[in-house]
Amino acid sequence: MANDAAATALPPRAATIAEIKEAIEALSEVDSERLHQIAINRIVRIGRCAANGRTSDDLLQEALWRILNQSRKWHPERVPFVQFVIGVVFSVASEWAAHRKRNLDTPEYAKLESEAAKDDEDGSLLSPFAALAGSTLDPESNLTAAEAEAEQSALVREMEQQFADDENAVCVLMGWEDGMDGPAIRREFGFSEKLYETTVRRIKRQSRKILEKRNAG
């Protein structure tokens, strides 16, 4: 019994570089096209400023490089390779977007407003910040909304840290953060309904523990 308990406690086996290369070479045309389309969608989603000149090919290559150099470890017994790559693509894109958000005033991202502007129906330039001018929120409401958003973001980051070695949970969390519902997440990451529901239950249990700990403090 002790040996069985010790075996159960062992961490999942990470794939070797040879196994990763073999998995990449074994990608079918359908899988490759799916990965490229997802990378394109991520670049569109985060926007060209966050991408900072990088393309969907750059995003996919960065994801594969992180898997190859094992900074992102693939556990073959826990998650299929294509599903894992999709998760890393999402993660890298989110990292790029977060980096831009933290460094808006640096020379790397400080672009002229006119560069991001677009033509309106009359042909004149429409500032991408114009919608902000019409906000009906008063300063107090803005502050409350910002605090709620910050608290939610902090909870998501803590959840992602808790599930750092659980790629399925990370994928679901990133999907939720991106505004995706259950069916969309299952389609995007190739989850079965059972796998998705099991993962969601695991996330909910952990989130309750985190919230209980916060409230107790």
Q: What is the pLDDT of residues 123-136, one digit of tens each?
A: 333 333 333 333 34
Q: Where are the domains of the chain?
A: 13-111, 142-217
Q: Which two tokens stand for residue 31?
A: 């899988």
How confident is the model at residue 10, as a pLDDT? 67
3-state secondary structure of 213: helix
pLDDT number for residue 152: 62
Q: What is the pLDDT of residues 154-173, one digit of tens each?
A: 666 677 677 766 778 878 88
Model confidence at 109, pLDDT cuts 50, 70, 90, reads: low
Q: How far apart are CA 55 and CA 89, in angstroms?
A: 12
Q: What angle do CA 188, 182, 71 make, to 5 degrees?
A: 50
Cβ atoms within 10 Å, residue 207 = 16
Q: What is the mean pLDDT of the chain?
A: 75
Residues facing residue 126 across a β-bridge = 118
Residue 195 pLDDT greater than 70, yes or no: yes
Contacts 24+ apart (CB under 8 A), 130-135: none
How far is the CA of 6 from the CAs of 9, 10, 15, 31, 52, in angstroms? 5, 6, 21, 37, 47
| C-beta separation of 49 from 109 below 8 A | yes
pTM greater than 0.75 = no
- What is the C-alpha to C-alpha distance for residues 79 and 73, in angstroms, rounded to an integer? 11
3-state class (DSSP) for residue 73: coil
